[in-house]
Chains A and B, each alone.
Chain A
Amino acid sequence: MNILNELLSYVLLYKYATIAIVVYFAAIILPLPSNAMLLAVGAFASQGYISFWGALTTAVIANTLGDCTDYWITHHFGERVTRILHLHKFKFYNQLQEELRTDAAITVFITRFAGSLSPVANFLAGLVRVPFKIFLINDFLGNIIEPFGALALGYAAGDYWSNFSGTLELIAAIVAVAIIIFVLARIYRRMMKRYER
């Protein structure tokens, strides 16, 4: 039995508690198939087995708490680790820190859709000490949209949800790559401007 099937059994047995635990640990960094699970949960909601809005609320809260955990880990221990690894001596690392701090709101918001890369953005946000209020607001807003997408697709697909799990993974990968391109292009453009000046 693969991990998704195991998770789905627990969703059917313990509903929102399972959704909360899986989404929370996936948000921290564990490679759990939370999007595929939410796709199935959307289908369960269309069959009247679970509440769509209840599942969405649970997923948003758990996702935000997971992201905040990442943020606080590097906020408290990150600087010590970068000193040990001597990262602060690298010019690129310092530039990246500066770019992230100046572009915090948009970076935090759009990286919510970067799938398994979003914990990396959370760790970085804590490390460069993005103001917690900015992080929380943008994280929360982004977290509403992402699980809603997966749940809504599952709800629309209904009994055929399993046919769409591959499609959802592809869409998630496309969005993640597009976001990395967007973030890097912004950094690249700003660096170019600075060099020109």
Chain B
Amino acid sequence: MQPAAPLLPPADWRDFLALTKPRVMTLVVFTGLCGMLAAPVSINPVIGFTAILCIALGAGAAGALNQWYEADIDSQMRRTSGRPLPAGRMERQSALHFGVGLAVFSVLLMELAVNMAAAAILTISILFYVLVYTVWLKRRTPQNIVIGGAAGAFPPLIGWAAATGDIALLPLLLFALVFLWTPPHFWALALFVKTDYANAGVPMLPVVRGEAVTRTQIGLYTIPMALAAVLPWPLGLTGAIYGVTALVTTAVFALMAAQVATRRQVPGDTMKPEKRLFGYSILYLFIVFGALVADRWFA
């Protein structure tokens, strides 16, 4: 007979909060909010707040289920070893129940309080992140974050659908922007935490195909990303406030990406350009989406 596993004390509520990846949620909520505010119709503030709450809860649920499934990988990476499950502060089953419960609640609330279109896209985004990215792709292919990036690109669509009940060209371009932004963003990170991913057996591009290929891919993905960012202006979907902001900030992004794409790591390299691109890429998305709202309101 095997000795019984030691019982853990009940997890602290802060651990449940950590399970939802609050920092990642910030960007998701912001892009969802901007998608909603950029829509050509006004939404009741209470319904709008509920829609954003549902996006946050859905993202939190997906994050919790991701951590439930990836506890073994997380325990092998320095960046994630302090999370509630790998650190042994929570039972796996609690994380699963929490994630599933939160996912179902967020979708139901979205359907009942907002509309069916937003609830349907929210469902797709949660399932995409959990099943397609986490379970299917992440451990199998270096293209994991390319296809999985779609999961993080849904919030502007959800926000727009919450306001209008429909999908249009502008939110589709915003989806494309976040989708194409994801590879340069994550591969810049993967370049300087390569050892962590290699130790955990995650087939990130720098681990599987090497540094040179990753740098080239960062440069290549930046080109369609830049197009998706700037295109709403010439297409007449936005005004000059968005257009000029997108043009300038995307040019800075492209310059940083070009620097990362053309350099090679040397012994004792601090990877400053890669860290700078990673940090700027987050700021970039905030600025571009913020400009979209400013354009809608002040133009």
To the question of whether A and B form a pair in one complex, the answer is no
Instruction: List residues of B whose CB falls within 8 A of some A CB.
Output: none
* Chain A residues at the B interface, C-beta cutoff of 8 Å: none
